[in-house]
Amino acid sequence: MKLWSKGLEPDKMIEEFTVGNDRELDLRLARYDVEGSMAHIRMLESIGLLAKDELDVLLPALEEIAAMIERGDFTIEPGIEDVHSQVEFMLTARLGDVGKKIHSGRSRNDQVLVDLKLFTRDELRSLAAETEALFKRLQALSEEHKDKLMPGYTHLQVAMPSSFGLWFGAYAESLADDMQMLLAAYNIANQNPLGSAAGYGSSFPLDREMTTRLLGFRDLHYNVVAAQMSRGKTERAAAMAISALASTLGHLAMDSCMWMCQNFGFISFPDELTTGSSIMPHKKNPDVFEIMRGKCNRLQSVQNEIALLTANLPLGYNRDLQLLKDILFPAFNEMRQCLRMADFMLQHIRIKDGILDSSTYDYLFTVEEVNRLTLSGMPFREAYRKVGLEVADGEFKPVKSVHHTHAGSIGNLCNDRVAKKFYSIYDLIAR
């Protein structure tokens, strides 16, 4: 059944090409389609386009379909084009002509927009929750290992002292920045497009403020053309948020691969969390972090794929937009999987003690010595030259202690303030 059918069925090859795997993807939108329909028919009754007794039979029928969806019993039957058609078909089969009335004042254009806005809003909330779990893990590790020193690098050359508290804490605060991106995408998704119909509104006296309240949207897409233009923009904003998270996680995965390498040996994991070699019996490969790095690199391409798909499309709905689901839906799943796996792996991380005892890291403390001399009254440039000559002559003797106390440094991580920053943003999504 096709909602647009006028008695002529399209060629089978045309149908298969244009529908693709949209039926499978639409199953993820089913609960939102029912939710949108329930709000829509309540509004239709309020403006006189549905009778009270009609609403009273439609709502229980939609609630029954919603229960089927929750049980996993809902399917899009062969020959049914999409989730919208399936829901309307089921209502009509059960209730007769009253089931055909639910589409008054809307188009599949704004119907799918509502579904996608509600879906994206929930997916972003889910990503925010997974991000919070990882954030808490990183902050806990930062506090636990704040006194364990490790080398800091620039250009992959030994540079200055760092600490595991600083390393874990850095990724926690980076997630606070990523939460800003999630919030921005969430705010774009959290606007009601229902009532924009095919993109040019309706001659029915629709109460769009009512459906906004019923669906829990923060605001309304007021201009009906702008509402339709948000298709693609909403997905692109979500993809940018995913990209930000993927960038942070990809860097963490790279660090972990490097620190696990025997040349560094800073961290390790239980054997059962690593993989082996078919020929080298000693191998404990960081496959989890390598796969995570690869997935995160790929996830950062999603926003570009969406940008290319939607570039220079003419105003109004175009069927190209259907393909956005193929891109974004798997990206949400993959990002969530990576966040969970990062949290799981860090739960089992082992930190090596006494790393800086090795003479390999003596030069980490040259800046500490320059600063000590400067504090004693020597001009900075003279202190720098003195220590540089000691290094060149092989006479530098490090004092392996650090005295970093300013905000955000080794001795003053400010994790409590980072948490305040994170939750000031997170709470706007989670509330």
* DSSP annotation string for 277-307: -SS-TT--B-HHHHHHHHHHHHHTTHHHHHH
The secondary structure of residue 356, as a DSSP letter, is G
d(CA 222, CA 395): 73
CB 160 within 8 A of CB 364: yes
Burial class (CB in 10 A: 0-12, 13-18, 19+), 373: middle
d(CA 89, CA 104): 15
| Helix axes of 83-95 and 30-46: crossing angle, nearest 10 degrees | 60
The secondary structure of residue 407, as a DSSP letter, is T
Amino acid at 312: N
Burial class (CB in 10 A: 0-12, 13-18, 19+), 97: exposed
| Residue 258: Cβ within 10 Å count | 16
Instruction: Write the CB contacts of 350 (distance below 8 Å, at least 6 apart in sequence).
Output: 267, 268, 269, 270
d(CA 140, CA 163): 14
The secondary structure of residue 141, as a DSSP letter, is H
> Which stretch of DSSP H or E encloses residue 160?
strand 157-163
d(CA 361, CA 366): 10
State both tokens at 378.
Answer: 């020597």
Q: Which domains does the chain have, with CATH numbers?
A: 12-104 (1.10.275.10), 109-357+404-430 (1.20.200.10), 359-392 (no CATH)
Pairing assessment for the beta strands 219-220 and 157-163 based on DSSP bridges? unpaired
pLDDT tens, position by position, for the chain (431 residues)?
454 455 556 667 776 676 667 778 889 999 999 999 999 999 999 999 999 999 999 999 999 999 999 999 999 998 888 899 999 999 999 999 999 999 999 999 999 999 999 999 999 999 999 999 999 999 999 999 999 999 999 999 999 999 999 999 999 999 999 999 999 999 999 999 999 999 999 999 999 999 999 999 999 999 999 999 999 999 999 999 999 999 999 999 999 999 999 999 999 999 999 887 778 888 888 999 999 999 999 999 999 999 999 998 888 888 889 899 999 999 999 999 999 999 999 999 999 999 999 999 999 999 999 999 999 999 999 999 999 999 999 999 999 989 999 999 999 999 999 999 999 999 999 98
